[in-house]
Chain A
Amino acid sequence: MLQIKDLHVTVDGKEILKGLSLDIGDGEVHAIMGPNGSGKSTLSYVLAGREGYEVTGGTVRYRDQDLFTLNAEERAREGVFLAFQYPVEIPGVPTATFLKTAVNAVRRHRGEAELDAMDFLKFVRARAKELEIGDDMIKRFLNVGFSGGEKKRAEILQMALLEPTLMVLDETDSGLDIDALRIVSEGINRMRGPDRSTLMITHYQRLLNYVVPDHVHVMAGGRIVRSGGKELALELEEKGYADIASAA
Chain B
Amino acid sequence: MAVSADTVQQVASLAEQKYKYGFFTDIDHVQAPKGLSEDIVRFISAKKGEPEWLLEWRLRAYRHWLEMKEPDWARVDFPKIDYQDLYYYSAPKSKDDGPKSLDEVDPELLKTYEKLGIPLSEQEVLAGVRNVAIDAVFDSVSVATTFKARLEKEGVIFGSFSDAVKNHPELVRKYLGSVVPPTDNYFAALNSAVFSDGSFAYIPKGVRCPMELSTYFRINAAQTGQFERTLIIAEEGAYVSYLEGCTAPMRDENQLHAAVVELVALDDAEIKYSTVQNWYPGDADGVGGIYNFVTKRGACRGRNSKISWTQVETGSAITWKYPSCILQGDNSVGEFYSIAITNNMQQADTGTKMIHLGRNTRSRIISKGISAGRAQNTYRGLVRMGPKAEKARNHTVCDSLLIGDRCGAHTVPYIESQNASARVEHEATTSKVSEDQLFYCRQRGIDEEDALSLIVNGFCKEVLQQLPMEFAVEAQKLVGISLEGSVG
Contact = CB atoms under 8 A, between A and B. Distances in A.
Contacts of B462: 92
Contact of B446 (A87, A92, A105, A141): A105
A109 interface: yes
Nearest to A78: B445
B152 interface: no
A72 B442 contact: yes
Interface stretch (A22-30, A47-55, A206-214): A47-55
Given A51-B4, A51-B6, A92 B457 contact: yes
Given A98-B454, A141-B458, A88 B440 contact: yes
Interface string B1-13: 0001011000000
Contacts of A81: 443
Contacts of A51: 4, 6-7, 435, 439
A73 interface: yes
Contact of B448 (A73, A97, A162): A73
A158 B440 CA distance: 12
Most A CB within 10 A of own CB, among B445, B448, B454:
B445
A76 B458 CA distance: 23
Contacts of A76: 442-445
B130 interface: no
Nearest to B434: A88
B436 interface: yes
Given A51-B6, A51-B439, A90 B458 contact: yes
Interface string A87-99: 1101111000110
A50 B441 CA distance: 11
A54 B430 CA distance: 31
B1 to A, nearest CB: 8
Contact of A92 (B435, B440, B441, B459): B459
B475 to A, nearest CB: 14
A200 B436 CA distance: 21
A49 B435 CA distance: 13
A164 B200 CA distance: 58
A103 to B, nearest CB: 8
A52 B448 CA distance: 16
Contacts of B454: 90, 93, 97-98, 101
B131 interface: no
A102 interface: yes
Contacts of A106: 444-445
A84 B439 CA distance: 11
B25 interface: no
A162 B445 contact: yes
A77 B445 contact: yes
Contacts of B461: 92-93
A92 B446 CA distance: 17
B458 A162 contact: no
B178 interface: no
9 contacts: A49-B442, A52-B4, A77-B445, A90-B437, A90-B440, A92-B459, A101-B446, A141-B458, A158-B444
Given A73-B447, A90-B454, A93-B454, 5 more contacts: A52-B4, A82-B443, A90-B455, A101-B450, A162-B444
Interface of A: 48-52, 71-73, 76-77, 81-82, 84, 87-88, 90-93, 97-98, 101-102, 105-106, 109, 141, 158, 162
